[in-house]
Amino acid sequence: MHTFSSLVQCDGCVDACIHILVRKILNLRLFEDEGGRAWSKSVMDRDFEVLCVSQFTLQCILKGNKPDFHSAMPAELAQPFYNSILESMRSAYKPELIKDGKFGAYMQVQIQNDGPVTIELASPAGPTDARLLSKQEKQQQRKEKTRSKGPSESGREKGAQRSRQDPNASSGAEGDVSSEREP
C-alpha cells in the first residue's frame, strides 16, 4: 500500500486537476512486475484495489507547536471535489476496485503498508490562495534582494574564516545542528 497526498489548489481548473490526479494515481508505476523488477507496474497493470481516504490533516502547517489547517480546502468545496475524483476513478478503471472512506468522518483504517513510499501529487496550476501567493511573493522579493547585494562569501569561505578565528568553532558540517540565521 502506498500513500498519496494530493495538494490540489485549483480554482477554474477543477476538471483538469481531477483528470491529472486520476491518471497519475492509476498509472504511476509503483509496483514490481512478475520478475521482481521494482517500479514497473501500475495499479491498473496489477488489477489492484485503490483505497481513497479524504485526509485534510495532510495540509497541516505548524505554527509554533500548534497545527494550522487553513491551507486545506474548505469542506464545502472539498467534498464535491473528492466525490468527483471517486467518480472519475470509477469510470476510468474498474468501479468495484475503487474503495473509499466516509468523507469527514473519524475512521480507523487497517492497512498493511508495503514500504516507506509516499508520493505527493500536486496540481500543475499552482497555488491560487492569496495567503500562499503573498508568501511566495515575499520569498521571491527576499531572493531578489539577496542577489542584488552582489556576490557573497560561500559557506565554505565563512567556515574557513571562522575556524581561523576560533579553532573550536563549527562549520555546520559533520552533524552539527547549530546554524546561523539571517536577521
The set of catalytic residues is: 57
Q: Give the whole-angstrom CA distance, residue 136 versus residue 103.
A: 31
CB 1 within 8 A of CB 113: yes
CA of residue 47 relative to chain centroid, distance? 26
What residues contact residue 68 under an 8 Å CB cut-off, 6+ apart? 60, 61, 62
Give Cβ neighbours of residue 109 (< 8 Å, ≥ 6 apart). Answer: 51, 53, 101
Task: Give buried/exposed letters for 120-155 (b at 16+ CB in 10 A, else e).
Answer: eeebebebeeeeeeeeeeeeeeeeeeeeeeeeeeee
Residue 91 burial (CB count, 10 A)? 10
**Hey, what's the cell of 74?**
474548505
